[in-house]
Amino acid sequence: MIHLCSNSQSRALLLKQFGIDFIQKAPEYDEEQITTTIAKDFVYTASKGKMEAAVKEFGLELPLLCADSVIMAADGTILRKAKDMEDARRILGIQSGSTISIVSSLHYRTKELLLVDTSATHYRFAPFEADDLEAYLQSGLWKGKAGGCMVEGFCKKYIRSVDGYESTAMGLQVEVLLPWLSTM
């Protein structure tokens, strides 16, 4: 049993799909304090900050798992969670017909071990169809998603190529974590 220190439904789904028993509760942590504009630095700092907050809030009776993800546009710009529908439209417009990288960082800590990993999965998308994009925006499914992107949902049919794990793109590189869970 591990403690998933995240409110992400995608991360919880991944753990379930891989048969990992967990409880889920996020610590108090404000990502808005992070000022870097470099994607890998942002997710590392956020994941590390969440871990530090989780250790203080929950202790280490159960192994703790924290993660963060952002989308990096082709020009290196970080595409974070959309603030509202217009912001989501803008962010998804940047991704349409372009290449993006979804960068995720995890921190996994037990009393004896600290595992840190930052990974990326790269996608090349076909242009999004206007009616399809509008339906996705109206659905609200983009809310709470880095860059409003759902590679397992809306974006899936637009993927022209992928390099990396889908799990990393969904916010948690489970394949990297699994070997460390077997040492428990």
Active site (catalytic) residues: 68
From CA 91, how far away is CA 110, in angstroms rounded?
37
- CB atoms under 10 Å from CB of 141, counted, come to 15
Query: Pick from 82, 49, 74, 59: which is nearest to 154 by CA?
Result: 82
Tokens 């889908």: give the residue.
166
Residues in the chain: 184
For the chain, the distance separating the N- and C-terminal CA atoms, rounded to the nearest angstrom, is 10
Q: Please list, in sequence order, all residues whose beta carbon lies within 8 angstroms of the beta carbon of residue 37, skipping any fewer than 6 positions away.
A: 77, 78
